[in-house]
Each structure stands twice: as structure tokens, then as C-alpha cells.
Amino acid sequence: MSENHIFNEEHQAIRKTIREFVLKELTPHADQWEEAEEFPSSVFSRLGELGFLGLHYPEEVGGQGGDYLCGVILAEEMMQCLSGGVALGVGVQTDMVCPLLHKVGSESIKERFLRPALEGKKIGCLGITEPDAGSDVASIRTTARRDGDEYVINGQKMFITNGVRADFAIVVSREPGSSGAKGITIFVVEKDSPGYSVSRKLDKVGMLSSDTAELSFMDCRVPADNMLGEEGQGFYHIMWELQPERLFGAVSAIAGAQINLDMTLKYVSERSQFGRPIGKFQTIRHRLAELATEIEAARQLNYYVAGLINAGEFPAKEISMAKLFSSRTACKVADEAVQFYGGYGYMMEYPVQRFWRDSRLTRIGGGTDEIMLEIISRQLVQ
């Protein structure tokens, strides 16, 4: 993988440590976890024990005190395990759940949820999407009605990563009777709260080792203390949260694409037809060269945006560009790689099929291509 000036020697050392861990403790189990359609929760505790979940969080909340780029390195290196599902499950914890808890959580929330999440002692999930509200976040219907010192939550959440095993869910809800972006408030709901249940574990095409749930809240009572951020400001909190989540998706997608390309380069030099390795055919060499160029361009865009985030900026247009371009590039690489493997690419025994299935999610989750284009175009065309 080519480097960039944004990483210093300390970053390189962290990268080496994470890679060694992933290759030794995760990669050998990836096939088995994919088959079982679940990776063990002990992955979270082990990552927490090693300090990897809190790399880019301050020490006072239980993190390691590193900068944002340490998180980018974790996202990239997790892909070395060859299971997008494992990388996704861990990424939801580090780049969807924890950023919100850290940015808008009260001291009490930070102690009760953020610290154990960074230590890998509690697993979290984030529930934004509903059966009838996906791209249009402001149309969510889950309600939270105040009742004394508690709120009573009713509604459903759909496609929630880590939702089956999560110890707590961050739930985006609205005041009854409110509509649009107004009246949206977020709560942290513990799994044993009465009225909280996992209604279904969903069957997916890819990211098999991650668990994806439909969650149900029926008169689920949460203490007012569990409100995350400001009352009525939930929509804006979520719009902020989506920014680091999208860059995480972009970075993971390109790290996976690079691994896939490297494997494919090896394959085309080993597979012979018509008396020579298929990688000697110009039509194949040139397409590989194009893919390598697109991966490099996407990675450098991601690093540029990561540098901005590291400096405290969250530029929605550039983040959306990075997510759009990286997701599309990863899918293109995955599709071409299957083609270069021929019939073997369609067989379960090679990881190339998993990249093909896993990478498809990145064009949908965390905001679809079409929504990225909408965000970008809004800043271009008045």
C-alpha cells in the first residue's frame, strides 16, 4: 500500500502492530466466522484490551490519546482479516457509536457507555434507519414521549449492525407529533430495558460475519439521563455523526480493494491459458493498471479528507466525494477481479467472491451513492 505524508513514524509503528495482530489472531478464523455468520464478541474485548478501539479517543475517556489518523490506520488494517463483516462490526463501534457518545454525551454517558465501549467491555449499535425511513432520516417515526423522569420509546429500527449482540443501542427518535428535522432526540437504550427486543436477525448477501438486526421498542422506558446530546437536536447530531462514518466506509472500501487487487495480481501471474500467464495479455494488464490508478486516486482523496478531519474540519462535500468514489472504485475492482479469476472467481473457495459481495454494501450503507451525489451537487449547483 502506498503511503502519504500525513502518517509519521509513530503511525507506521501502530500500523505494524495492528497488522501483526490481525494476521495472527483474526485472519486465520475469517472463513469459519463467515460460515457461522458471526464473529465472536471476544474480538471486541481483545481489541479493547490491546487499546485498539480507543486509538483516536482521549485518555480521560478511556482512549489512547492518538489522533484521528490512528483510527484511519485501524480501519485499513482491519481489512487484512479478509472479512468485511468483522471490519464493519468493529467499525460501527469505533466510528459510529463512540464518536457520538464522545462528542455529545454527558459525563455520566461517557462513564457508563463510552469508556466500556472503548475498553471492549460493552458493544454498541446505532439505530437510525427504520423500515420506512432510510435515506430520508428526517422521516423517522420512532417516538419518545416524556413521562416524569423517563422517556417512553415506541418504534422499530431496521438493518442495525451489531444489533443482535449489542449491550446498548443509540436510538434516534422524535417527540410525538413532531415532523421533519425538528423534534428529533437521541437516547442510549440498554439491552435489558423492558420493551427493547431484537425482533429479527437479518439474512444478508455479504458482510456475513457481522450481525444485522431489526430492533423493536414497545413502551420501552429509559431514564431521562440517557438522553444523548440536546433535546430536539438529534437530527443535527446524526448529520455530524455520518461524516466520520462515511470516511470510515471510504477508507475500509479502498483498503479492501487494494488487498483484492494484490491477490488478483498474484493470480493472473500464476494462471496460464494459451501457453502463458493470463496477466501477460495486454487487455488484462491494462485493466489492472486502470484499477490500480483508481485505487491510488481514491486513497489519496481519502487521506486528504482524513487530514482535514484530523485538523477538526468535517467538510460534507469532500467526505461525500470520498465515500462515493471509494465505494464505486471498490465495487469496480471487486467485479473485475471476479472476471480475472474466471470460473474460480465464482466459487466460494477464493476470497475474491467475498470482496464482491461485501463491497456492494459500501454503495448503500451510511448514505447511498445517490445521496452522496445529492450532497455534492447541492454545494455545486445553486
Task: Note if 245 is an active site residue.
Answer: yes
| Amino acid type, 62 | G
C-alpha cell at 256: 479492501
Using CA of residue 365, residue 369, residue 372, residue 374, what is the dihedral sign? negative
How far apart are CB 331 and ligand FAD at their closest, in Å? Answer: 14
- Separation CA 62–CA 77 (nearest Å): 22
Residue 181 interacts with ligand FAD (CB under 6 A): yes or no = no
Q: Whole-angstrom Cα distance, residue 85 to residue 162?
A: 10
Do 126 and 168 form a contact (C-beta atoms < 8 A)?
no
* Other CB atoms within 10 Å distance of the CB of residue 319: 28
Tell me which of 21, 52, 151, 159 binds ligand FAD, using CB under 6 A. 159
Residue 183 binds ligand FAD (CB under 6 A): no
Helices (H) then strands (E): counts for the chain = 13, 10
Show the binding pattern over residues 85-114: x = contacts ligand FAD (CB under 6 A), - = does not: -------x----------------------
Contact pick of 333, 365, 375, 376 for ligand FAD (by CB under 6 A)? 365
CB of 212 to ligand FAD, least distance (A): 5
* Closest-CA residue to 113 (of 240, 228, 237): 228
The span from the CA of 137 to the CA of 373, in Å, is 16
Mark out the alpha helices in the chain (DSSP H runs). Answer: 9-21, 30-36, 42-49, 68-78, 84-92, 98-104, 107-109, 115-118, 234-270, 282-310, 316-341, 352-359, 369-380
Nearest-approach distance from CB 196 to ligand FAD, in angstroms:
16
Nearer to ligand FAD, 135 or 272 (CB): 135
Interface residue with ligand FAD, options 66, 89, 127, 351 (CB under 6 A): 127
**Helix, strand, coil percent values for the chain (each to nearest 5):** 55, 15, 25
Cα gap 214→221, rounded to integer Å: 19
User: Counting contacts by CB under 6 A, is residue 208 touching ligand FAD?
Assistant: no
Q: Assess contact for 251 and 241: CB atoms under 8 A.
A: no
Exactly one of 16, 374, 377, 378 binds ligand FAD (CB under 6 A); that residue is 374
Q: Rounded to an integer, what distance in angstroms lies between the CA atom of residue 47 and that of residue 271?
A: 38
Measured CA to CA, the distance from residue 208 to residue 268 in angstroms comes to 27
Site for ligand FAD in 211-250 (CB under 6 A): 212
3-class secondary structure, 171: strand
Residue 129 within binding range of ligand FAD, rule CB under 6 A: yes
Among 77, 241, 245, 294, the active-site one is 245
Does 329 bind ligand FAD (CB under 6 A)? Our answer is: no
3-state secondary structure of 151: strand
Decide: is 184 part of the binding site for ligand FAD (CB under 6 A): no
| Nearer of residues 129 and 353 to ligand FAD, judged by Cβ | 129
175 alpha carbon, distance to own chain's centre: 28
Which residue number, 66 or 163, has a Cβ lying nearer to ligand FAD? 163
- Pick the stretch among 35-43, 102-110, 291-299, 360-368 that binds ligand FAD (CB under 6 A): 360-368
Binding of residue 252 to ligand FAD (CB under 6 A): no
Residue listed under C-alpha cell 505524508: 5
Q: Is 59 in the site for ligand FAD (CB under 6 A)?
A: no
Helix (H/G/I), strand (E/B), else coil: 173: strand
The site for ligand FAD, by CB under 6 A, has a size of 23
Cell of 351: 476470497
* 128 versus 305: smaller Cβ distance to ligand FAD: 128
Segment contacting ligand FAD by CB under 6 A, of 32-40, 153-161, 303-311, 344-352: 153-161
- For ligand FAD, the closer of residues 2 and 377 by Cβ is 377
Tell me the window of 100-108, 124-132, 258-266, 278-286 that interacts with ligand FAD (CB under 6 A): 124-132
- Supply the residues annotated as catalytic: 245
- Contacting positions for ligand FAD (CB under 6 A): 92, 125-129, 134-135, 159-161, 204, 207, 212, 361, 364-368, 370-371, 374
